[in-house]
Structure 1
Amino acid sequence: MKTIKLSISLFLAAITFASCSSDDDNSFNIDESLIVGEWTITDFDYDVDTTTSFEGQSITASATAVGSNFDYNIIFNKDNTLVADGSYDVTLETTVAGQSVGTETTTVSNIETSGEWSIDGDQLTFSGFTTGDMNNNGFGDDVSKSTSTITILNENTLQIVSDFEDLEGSGSDLPDGAELSVTGSAVMTLSRVN
């Protein structure tokens, strides 16, 4: 269950642009004026691999998630502020130590995000705060700065890729001395509302 919660948390982080980084040698300059306006998420998926090490032992896990039933809009304002709200479902398939843990669909609702955005080349940077409910449990996450790569931006479509590159840490759910390493990526596609 902790693996599923971690994977869903990573999904939420990615959907609010909370990725570690995304470096792309094929960067190009984006016309910032194209991003201004309201967008709705039409597709989202991610793959993530984790390794948890404790007292000389390692456990690997992987998760694949696909979003659905999107009712989630993001507004990029001209003054570089951002607001987002809505809900979506996420179906998560998890494997631990090579064994399937199963598939679970969770509704994430009452999501509210506010923050600031900027674009440098093809890099979209976000900072702000997100709150919401997952299975009737509230959550909040302060995103100090995260960056994703814009792979498509035109009048109708925005697509970003968030890479989880060698994220490391020790979460409050881990025993003292345990280490967690996370790698993976998420792809989000949005369509312009107006």
Structure 2
Amino acid sequence: MKFLKLTLIILFTISVASCSSDDDSSNPSSANISGIWQGESFDYTGTSTTEILGESITTSFVGETENINYTLTFSENPNEVIADGSYDVILTTTLEGQTTTQTVPGIDFLNSGSWELDGNTLTFIVDGEASEATIETLTDNLLVLVISDTQEINQQGVTASTMIDAVLTFTR
């Protein structure tokens, strides 16, 4: 259960740091991103390796969202992003050949903050911490953000490293 909580904390941190990249143009403009975006999906895969007392345990995971009810609202001057809503995750983990699936309900999407756009790099600044995202697609009606991130936590002799690849899709 502690491993699941650690994984969920890492996933939330990464969702705050969302990466995004633009396939439709090489330099998206802030005018294209301004407005209200409805969350359609937030699916991810990854691995988590925990080392304790010289033993290493690797877990793979897949998260698929359902009951999605969240929006991101981007405004300019000042560049603010307002996040609202939550979603459920169907989390499938595999550890030492054993696969388990559970539903994690009511996950808040992202804290509100500010944003900056530089080329395809979208930076969220939430509670003083910056997180970069790459825009894969940005059109009048579609925003696709791609995340590839690694997080490491060292606590009381335990090291946990999580690598995640995620795709967030929004429409308006």
**Is the pair's TM-score, using the shorter chain for normalization, greater than 0.5?**
yes
Shift of 1:114: 1.5
- Separation in 2, partners of 1:145, 1:156: 26
Corresponding residue for 1:184?
Answer: 164
SS in 2 for 1:113: coil
Corresponding residue for 2:47?
Answer: 49
Shift of 1:151: 0.1
Mapping 1:10-49, distance limit 5 Å = 10-16=10-16, 18=17, 28-49=26-47
Structure 2 gaps of 5+ residues are none
Which residue identity lines up with residue 11 of structure 1 in the other structure?
L
Corresponding residue for 1:81?
Answer: 80
- Separation in 2, partners of 1:96, 1:30: 41
TM-score by length of 2: 0.88
String of CA shifts for 1:117-170, please: whole Å, max 9, x gaps.
0111111110114xxxxxxxxxxxxx61111110000100000011113x2222
TM-score by length of 1: 0.78
Percent identity over paired residues: 37
Mapping 1:1-194, distance limit 5 Å = 1-16=1-16, 18=17, 28-78=26-76, 79-100=78-99, 102-108=100-106, 113-129=111-127, 144-165=129-150, 167-171=151-155, 176-192=156-172
Contact 1:50 1:181 in 2 (8 A): yes
Compared with structure 1, are the counterparts of its residues 22 and 6 closer, same or farther at alpha carbon in structure 2 (3 Å cutoff)? farther
Q: Runs of 4+ in structure 1 displaced over 3 angstroms? A: 21-24, 109-112
Contact 2:20 2:120 in 1 (8 A): no
Compared with structure 1, are the counterparts of its residues 68 and 23 closer, same or farther at alpha carbon in structure 2 (3 Å cutoff)? closer
String of CA shifts for 1:10-51, please: whole Å, max 9, x gaps.
3323333x25x7899xx9311221000001100110012011
SS in 1 for 2:27: coil
- Separation in 1, partners of 2:108, 2:149: 25
Contact 2:152 2:162 in 1 (8 A): yes
Shift of 1:82: 0.9
Which residue identity lines up with residue 106 of structure 2 in the other structure?
V
Shift of 1:110: 6.2
Which residue identity lines up with residue 158 of structure 2 in the other structure?
A
Contact 1:4 1:94 in 2 (8 A): no
Shift of 1:109: 5.3
Number of equivalent positions? 169
